[in-house]
A = this chain, B = another copy of it.
Amino acid sequence: MSQLNIEDIARLAGVSRSTVSRVLNDHPSVRPAVRDRVWQVINEHGYAPQAAARHLVTQRTRIIGVLFPRSDNFLLANPIFASIGQGIGRACAQRGYIAMLSLSLRDMEQKVLLDMLRSRHFDGIVLVSSEQNDPMPLFLKQARIPYTRIGYDPEQEDPHYVAIDEVEAAYKAVKHLIALGHKRIGIIQGPAWEACTPARYNGYKKAMEEAGLPIDPELVEEGDWTHTSGNDAMRQLLYLKRPPTAVFATNDMMAAGALHALYERGLRVPEDMAIVGFDDVPQTIVVIPPLTTIRQPSIEMGMRATEMLIDLLEGKEGQPSHIILPTTLVVRQSCGAKPQHIQFPQKRQESASLDGH
């Protein structure tokens, strides 16, 4: 902490503090010679204006708060948040803002968290949440804190959000399985309190109904996004008298867990069971076999939500706006071509041929 303040710099440069302030803020009306001299003094002493004083007078911080759901283990549970965060950070950097993420929100008391938001640390919030009836949007509205949301909750209708068409995305995934000839298709869903869960289920249902396939409630499992829960869900499906020949997991981590369960049972993918995931996180290609999945443009989602927020803050755009970004089916190796009847239980043989060399 260089103890110098703007006054000191002014004195050292032989100008007034207004001039130093102008230099600092790139105000045009400063003589080049003066400007250079001031910068030199500033750099010489490693001076930087104190954020608090600046924030107090401008009433803006140029800091954007990022709220992730259950922040302290989101990193562990689902790498898609990392990509979203990356997009948020990148957009902030481009526009001269700083994205700040508070660690371990779960360990903070509710009141502490709310007070933090109310105390104007942040100019605005990017809320990453597809939780149904998440209380946060309501709070932010009441506290008149500008925010944009990544994720869509039909119950809340946030004025500014970016999302994907969940129904259509899930529909594409299941349709892919159907096109490959599968008729008995299971689904491993996310938790019920996520708004995207019923939406993705509806996509599944739509594809099934359209193909004239029945939906067997036995084939509907629920996980909590984690690898472990995907593993458990797949085990349940394998216990069935008539297991599915294909499974749609509504995120990649659960899909990976499902793969794991199949491996443990000596079943081959895609020969014995086809799997489609959702998200297209990096891990998806690292798993064996690489996952066919629905790609969410997560980095772009982060960027768009952030740009939308900054536009809002800078008054460029006051109207409500909803951005729906496109998803794509990424075909890799976990679905193969033709389904076979499952032989169960069965040990794996020659599985090394799955991925040649």
Contact = CB atoms under 8 A, between A and B. Distances in A.
Interface of A: 1-2, 46-56, 61, 66, 71-73, 75-76, 79, 81-83, 85-86, 88-90, 92-94, 98-105, 107-108, 112, 114-116, 118-121, 142-145, 227-228, 231, 257, 260, 263-266, 282-283, 286, 288, 347-353, 355-357
Contacts of A99: 102-104
A121 B99 CA distance: 13
A50 B46 contact: no
A50 B143 CA distance: 13
Instruction: Give chain A's interface secondary structure class.
Output: helix
A3 to B, nearest CB: 8
Nearest to A109: B93
Given A72-B86, A142-B46, A352-B348, A121 B1 contact: no
Given A46-B142, A116-B98, A118-B46, A355 B89 contact: no
Given A98-B116, A120-B50, A85 B66 contact: no
A350 B352 contact: no
Nearest to A117: B48
B102 A98 contact: yes
Contacts of A283: 227
A85 B11 CA distance: 42
Copies in the complex: 2
A103 B103 contact: no
Q: Which 9 A-B pairs have the closest CB atoms?
A: A89-B104, A266-B352, A89-B103, A52-B55, A48-B118, A75-B82, A93-B107, A99-B103, A51-B119
Given A76-B282, A99-B102, 16 more contacts: A2-B144, A48-B119, A53-B56, A55-B55, A56-B56, A72-B89, A75-B85, A76-B83, A86-B103, A90-B104, A93-B108, A228-B286, A264-B356, A264-B357, A347-B350, A348-B352
Scoring A114, A349, A353 by chain B CB atoms within 10 A of each residue's CB, the highest score goes to A349
22 contacts: A1-B144, A46-B142, A48-B115, A50-B119, A50-B120, A51-B52, A52-B120, A72-B89, A73-B82, A76-B79, A76-B282, A85-B104, A86-B103, A92-B104, A99-B103, A228-B286, A260-B286, A264-B356, A266-B351, A348-B350, A348-B351, A349-B349
Contacts of A52: 51-53, 55-56, 61, 120
A197 to B, nearest CB: 23
Nearest to A104: B89
A111 to B, nearest CB: 10
A263 B282 CA distance: 19
